[in-house]
Structure 1
Amino acid sequence: MKNALLVIDYSYDFAAPDGKLTAGEAGRAIQGDIAEKIREAHKKGTPIFFMMDLHYEEDMHHPESRLFPPHNIEGMPGRELYGTVLEAYETIKGDPDVFFLDKRRYSAFAGTPLDQLLQERGINTVTLTGLVTDICIMHTAVDAYNHGYGIVVPESCVASFNPEGHRYALDHFKNTLGATIEP
């Protein structure tokens, strides 16, 4: 098994108490575990992909503009990595196995070079961490499954502003996508 770590949407807007679409305390509670996963992966030479939601100010054409308040706006502080995840990133950025990619849809695969970069590195399994379990993590998991990747989801590294959606997503990952759910 050759693995890659994906850190999805762990931004100020999704994690901070005053973020525009915050996952609240649940979102902040996972930052230490994500930072530890980043440190472990880097130490092992595992490729790490920071996949960040990207929106433009007053973009009424993006489908999310009808569903959620403006968030993760280009050039704004809300789009920056948050807390100890930011600190972990700062220590490894510039490494050739560390990537920071923009995404415009829920899935980290949609419209990004992620699949190609994983294939070039012989990756066959992705570990998914970040926010929000029942939105971007779920859509990424479904696309990973459809692309033939094995999926690992550390439960301590994902969260949602919707506790029921979070539980549903974890069950879906395990029972429908065959993902390994770690503590």
Structure 2
Amino acid sequence: MPAKNVDLHGNVPDISKVALLLIDVINDFEYPEGDLLFKNSMEIVDQIVDLRKRAKEAGVPVIYVNDNYGKWQSDFLKLVAHTTNEKVRGKPFVDKLLPDEDDYFVLKPKHSAFYSTVLDTLLAYLKVETLILAGVAGNSCILFTANDAYMRDFHLYIPSDCIASNYAEDNRNAIKIMKTILDVDTRPQREIEFVCRNNEPDVP
């Protein structure tokens, strides 16, 4: 008999044409100009929370992609523990976006979610064709990830109200580049309607 992919609990894993990537949302904001990025990120966090909630209700897998902050011994749970410490600037942001047990996570060493990570393998495993990106920073990690996703022929949604950068002008410029050069759909997150086609989540 051919092998059948199952998870550790014996269930068929998520298979979805669409995936939501939350980029660097497990973030302490404890770095130069982190206060600026934190302020702007807090202005969009509720939009990301709503997008994540609607995606999960539609059966869309959520993938947290996060910097390892140059610490190769780190793991995702250690990052969560660190960023939810009372003394960390980013705690109010992270507290609203804590992962669930069924979410995926990928640690990245550089700006792009694809560079030297397992993301390509994971997306192929899930049979993803469309990516929705949200998180920080719009003019760096979001932009670099969008560029790499575009070169891999993914269909891209990056809601303009779900990304933030240190400076509003830089964020607007990044959105313009992604929309005009990378063919990204940048409509606000509430204008993205999740539907099911052939028992698979999709976006029109």
Pair in the same fold by TM > 0.5: yes
Instruction: Confirm or deny that 1:6 pairs with 2:21.
Output: yes
> SS of 2:63's equivalent?
strand
Instruction: State how far apart, in whole Å, the 1-side matches of 2:91 and 2:57 are.
Output: 21
Residue of structure 2 aligned with 1:156, choices 148, 157, 161 = 161
The code of the aligned residue for 1:166 comes to N
Q: Is the 8 A contact 1:125 1:149 kept in 2?
A: yes
Instruction: State how far apart, in whole Å, the 2-side matches of 1:49 and 1:144 are.
Output: 14
Q: Aligned-residue CA RMSD in angstroms?
A: 2.5
Question: Structure 1 162/110 Cα, relative in aligned 2: closer, same or farther at 3 Å?
Answer: same
Q: Which residue of 2 aligns with 1:55?
A: 69
The code of the aligned residue for 1:47 comes to P
Q: How does 1:64-103 map to 2 (within 5 A)?
A: 77-78=82-83, 82-83=91-92, 86-90=95-99, 93-95=100-102, 98-103=103-108
Instruction: Confirm or deny that 1:114 pairs with 2:119.
Output: yes
Instruction: Confirm or deny that 1:24 pairs with 2:31.
Output: no
The code of the aligned residue for 2:146 comes to A
Question: Structure 1 106/79 Cα, relative in aligned 2: closer, same or farther at 3 Å?
Answer: farther
Residue of structure 1 aligned with 2:184, choices 170, 179, 182 = 179
TM-superposed deviation, 1:45: 1.0
Instruction: State how far apart, in whole Å, the 1-side matches of 2:92 and 2:58 are.
Output: 23
Instruction: State how far apart, in whole Å, the 1-side matches of 2:177 and 2:168 are.
Output: 14
Could you tell me which runs of 5 or more consecutive residues in structure 1 were left unpaired when the two chains were aligned: 60-73
If the length of structure 2 is used for normalisation, what is the TM-score?
A: 0.71
> SS of 1:45's equivalent?
coil
Instruction: State how far apart, in whole Å, the 1-side matches of 2:174 and 2:97 are.
Output: 27
The code of the aligned residue for 1:37 comes to L
Q: Which residue of 2 aligns with 1:125?
A: 130
Could you tell me which runs of 5 or more consecutive residues in structure 2 were left unpaired when the two chains were aligned: 1-15, 73-77, 189-204
The code of the aligned residue for 2:23 comes to I
Instruction: State how far apart, in whole Å, the 1-side matches of 2:120 and 2:95 are.
Output: 24
TM-superposed deviation, 1:11: 3.0
Number of equivalenced pairs: 161
TM-superposed deviation, 1:85: 5.1
Instruction: State how far apart, in whole Å, the 2-side matches of 1:84 and 1:54 are.
Output: 18
Residue of structure 1 aligned with 2:60, choices 46, 66, 78 = 46
Residue by residue over 1:38-75, the C-alpha shift from the partner in whole angstroms, topping out at 9 and shown as x without a partner, is 11111111011111111246x9xxxxxxxxxxxxxx76
Question: Structure 1 175/107 Cα, relative in aligned 2: closer, same or farther at 3 Å?
Answer: same
TM-superposed deviation, 1:12: 3.6
Residue by residue over 1:68-117, the C-alpha shift from the partner in whole angstroms, topping out at 9 and shown as x without a partner, is xxxxxx76724887536544434xx221xx11211111001111111111
If the length of structure 1 is used for normalisation, what is the TM-score?
A: 0.78
Q: Is the 8 A contact 1:35 1:85 kept in 2?
A: no
Residue by residue over 1:149-170, the C-alpha shift from the partner in whole angstroms, topping out at 9 and shown as x without a partner, is 0110111110000222211110
Q: Is the 8 A contact 2:138 2:165 kept in 1?
A: yes
Instruction: State how far apart, in whole Å, the 2-side matches of 1:84 and 1:178 are.
Output: 29
| % identical equivalent positions | 29
Instruction: State how far apart, in whole Å, the 1-side matches of 2:65 and 2:84 are.
Output: 11
